[in-house]
Chains A and B, each alone.
Chain A
Amino acid sequence: MKVSSPQFKAKVVTALADPHLRDALGQSRKGFVNGRGALVAGLPEFEQLRDQARDVKDHVLANLDHYLERFEAKVTAAGGQVHWAADAEDARQIILGICRRVGAKTITKGKSMVSEEVGLNEALEAEGYQVIETDLGEYIIQLAGEPPSHIIAPAIHKTRAQVAELFEAAHGGPRKTTVGELVTEARLVLRDKYFKADVGITGGNYLVAETGSSVIVTNEGNGDLTQTLARVHVVTSGIERIVPSLEDVSLFQRLLARSGTGQETETYTTFSTGPRRAGDPDGPDEYHVVLVDNGRSKMLGGKFQDMLRCIRCGACMNHCPVYGAVGGHAYGWVYPGPMGSVLTPLFVGLDSTYDLPNACTLNGRCQTVCPVRIPLPDLLRELRHRQSLAGLRPRAETRALHAWRFVAERPRLYRAANRLAARALKALDGGTGHLTHLPFGQAWSGLRDLPAPEGQTFLEMWQAQKRP
């Protein structure tokens, strides 16, 4: 997928001026945030589960080679095939190869962020395959020709009226007005596709090393219909999504839906292990798992390894004030919000993603809700540090920080400068107590006032109070 992260600032301006988007994002925050809050409050074991989930993921990452090999052996024993994709091009070629070999025409897809990451739809469509996204949200944005704006609610930015318009254009009229009618229309249109599909592609929430199973978690049942009714089932998943055993899956089952959608459980959790067996009346003839690296292995053993614990629940973006104001499209690639601001620079490079690690107030809400305790603010800070080392940050900022450091390392000078600043800013407020213009900060003061200092430094006031 094309990276449009360099246009972050321009996209933010557009997003902030979009009243539909503001409504949609406001709705989602209420639904997801309140839902999670209520469930967590009623589950005393929750914090302990988070610790254990973090530890299981760390254990897997420390032994990732073993668990991947074990998973592969189990898939093979069940009659399936594992493919290893070092990068996005590798992944596309593997899947194109399967589709060509089986003479596919129609390809149905369950939701898979990895397939977005490797640009699979474009590659399949370029070769003339009919590709149909079956998750309702993904289907809507496919009709709109847009990327997802949220990892678990991809069409969260679309209003009902916009969906109705898209459906009318795609399916013919009359235009539907209620959510129920729209969902029914999609159900009927897609039903036909499931039964016609040659290849069904799904993601994988977990890959179970013990059994060689891939697991998907959905509410709609679209992923299940996709993989049950197509002749060939292809799973795309990141190499880090391995869990050792069925008991480990249960641990994550208790965290995923509660954290992401604010549900006690999602409607369907499905384990797939190999193709149709002797005597099975249905199921796919072939079962393939494409293990995608695409930059993940390079994150092991370093400062960003913690990011590989991510289970793609979406809690960080649901709780992020920046995401909540600008939505997912501004981030310019596949993964938005806090987890996206860490992953995108690591996957596509620091230079084209400059704004992402900076579009964060370091308020820490993402880390507070992350089910696997990823220290997202620390990782974003580390990316800023890397930007500095790579000479990507503005010169003026570097010079200003050097100047600040020079002063801050000299206490007398620092106090003198503070006194001067406190008095000068006080003099500038014109008696209002607010500064409406800052000499070097128009961008900041353009949207809000700064409370003016009271003319004394903190230290001066502290010392004045200490004297009886």
Chain B
Amino acid sequence: MSSRSAILDQIRRQLGRGPLPPEAVTALEARRPAHTRVAVGDGLVERFIARFESRAGSVARVASLAQVPEAVAAYQARLGLPPRAAVARPLAGLAWPAGFSHHPGPAGQSEILSVTACLAGIAEVGSVFLPSGPDSPTSLNFVPDHHLVVLRTGQIVRHFEDVWPLVRALPGGMPRALNIVAGPSRTGDVELTLQLGAHGPRSVHVILVDAPM
């Protein structure tokens, strides 16, 4: 007997029943849980910023998508970084300054900075949702030292649960990888001393565009 049937048989034996009857399976398939959500007041954008910054993430606000290249350049200048980046394809068409070189990824081992779009941000805890796909390599979210995420204010929703319908509606449904990122990589594994930049990005910077969806 295969381990599969051995395990399933054992489960049913222990539960004192055979396989579930079709009605029971139908009922389970129809289950739509509505669990308690954490109270989140109005001012979703402000809450998102406050929560995201509370974990050493940073946020810069710009008035339009066209100002994103300028915000990226300002970030690079502030930290003395070279004018190159891995830029996710949906943002490649922006008017990047002369002398700025970019490629769509995936990220190479020495990648310093990436700029990506995202699916949504949530106000509840202040984190961003990054689905993988042909235009959004997962490595851009983890390999570079600096990860810049372009988020529109209209993409900020209240709770985790508000994002799941958006995920289900993606072409292809659940993406291969869905990363929820709440800030820069951190560790407390040496003497429980908080240290940023353990393995993933040392800093995560949200460029928040004042725009509806």
Contacts and interface: CB of A to CB of B under 8 A. Distances in A.
Interface string B168-191: 000011111111111111111111
Interface residues of B, number: 77
B188 A45 contact: no
A183 B7 contact: no
Interface stretch (A280-288, A409-417, A442-450): A280-288
Given A136-B198, A280-B133, A65 B19 contact: yes
A78 B176 CA distance: 8
B39 A45 contact: yes
Nearest to A94: B3
Contacts of A460: none
Contacts of A186: 198
Nearest to B160: A250
A229 B142 CA distance: 10
Contact of B176 (A163, A229, A274): A274
Interface string A60-89: 001111111100000000100000111000
B40 to A, nearest CB: 11
B14 A187 contact: no
Interface centre among A159, A187, A244 (most CB of B within 10 A): A187
Contacts of B79: none
B31 A244 contact: yes
A277 interface: yes
B180 A56 contact: no
Contacts of A283: 132, 138, 176-177
A90 B3 contact: yes
Give the most central of A48, A158, A225: most B CB within 10 Å.
Answer: A225
Contacts of A9: none
A33 B174 CA distance: 36
A226 to B, nearest CB: 9
Nearest to A136: B189
A219 B109 contact: no
Contacts of A106: none
> Chain B at the A interface: mostly helix, strand, loop or mixed?
loop
Interface string A258-291: 0001001111111111111101111100000001
Given A136-B190, A222-B198, A271 B173 contact: no
Contacts of A140: 189-190
B35 A268 contact: no
Interface in B129-185: 132-134, 137-139, 141-143, 159-161, 164, 167, 172-185
A224 B183 contact: no
B38 interface: yes
Interface string A221-234: 11011001100000
A84 B2 contact: yes
B138 A282 contact: yes
B3 A264 contact: no
Contact of A136 (B11, B36, B160, B187): B187
B34 interface: yes
A100 interface: no
Nearest to A244: B31
B191 A24 contact: yes
Given A62-B15, A267-B184, A247 B164 contact: yes
Contacts of B28: 63, 66-67, 244
Given A221-B199, A228-B177, A253-B160, A69 B36 contact: no
B175 A247 contact: no
A248 interface: yes
A345 to B, nearest CB: 18
Given A272-B176, A297-B10, A250 B198 contact: no
B138 A224 contact: yes
A268 B176 contact: no
A247 B34 contact: yes
A112 to B, nearest CB: 16
A282 B141 CA distance: 12
Interface string B1-13: 0111011101110
B74 to A, nearest CB: 25
Closest 8 CB pairs of A and B: A221-B200, A279-B134, A220-B198, A137-B189, A300-B14, A250-B160, A301-B14, A282-B106
Interface of B: 2-4, 6-8, 10-12, 14-16, 19-20, 24-25, 28, 31-39, 51, 54-55, 104-106, 109, 125, 127, 132-134, 137-139, 141-143, 159-161, 164, 167, 172-193, 195, 197-201
